[in-house]
Amino acid sequence: MAIKSKYPIKISIDDKPFSIVACQMMTASQKDELSEVTDKHSESFEKRDSLQLEITSYKEEFEINKHILSHGKVTQIVAVMFEQKTLNQDIFRLEKEMRELDKNIVSLNKAMEEIYERRFDLSVSGADKDALKKEMQTIGLSYQAIISEINGQVKEAKEKK
């Protein structure tokens, strides 16, 4: 039994044929490179989610304290007012940190597209690779769509064995 790692594929975009070779197996360094791109984006999203959760928690506590201020005893009010001031400062600080993070974070769609583009670059070769990339950019076709098509054709080729 022979194991095949490269599959010649023909992809047509608007009746323009492109011949490429899809490689299903990546080297360790290619996997690491793809992993770096993925990790870079996931860290940013995880940090943002963490900040959002912390802000929400502080805001809920702030609302509870507002209720205490309107219905509490005078002895509680002074302590709660001080806590409200601290919570307000923390909320402001976290929201500012999140705005700074948002300036540097790319949208989820852009992050996924960057990952798929890197995967395309690492796993596709052939005479028409660059022409295919240029055509994709010209018409605005996503790398996710091309990778999906490539995977479908590779799956069919494997099933024919």
Band of the pLDDT at 161, cuts 50, 70, 90?
A: low
Q: Contact at 8 Å (CB) between 22 and 149? A: no
| Structural domain boundaries, residue 87 | 37-104
Confidence of residue 2 (pLDDT cuts 50, 70, 90): low
Burial class (CB in 10 A: 0-12, 13-18, 19+), 120: buried
Has residue 136 been placed in a domain? no
Is residue 56 domain-resident? Answer: yes
Examine residue 53 and state whether it is found in any structural domain, yes or no. Answer: yes
154 part of a folded domain: no
CA distance 9 to 18: 8
**What's the rounded mean pLDDT across residues 134-139?**
93
pLDDT at 84 over 70: yes
The mean pLDDT of 146-150, rounded to a whole number, is: 90
Would residue 137 count as lying in a domain? Answer: no
pLDDT in tens, 98-116: 988 887 776 767 878 888 8
Q: Are 87 and 63 in contact (CB under 8 A)?
A: no
The pLDDT assigned to 48 comes to: 86
Domain for residue 158, yes or no?
A: no
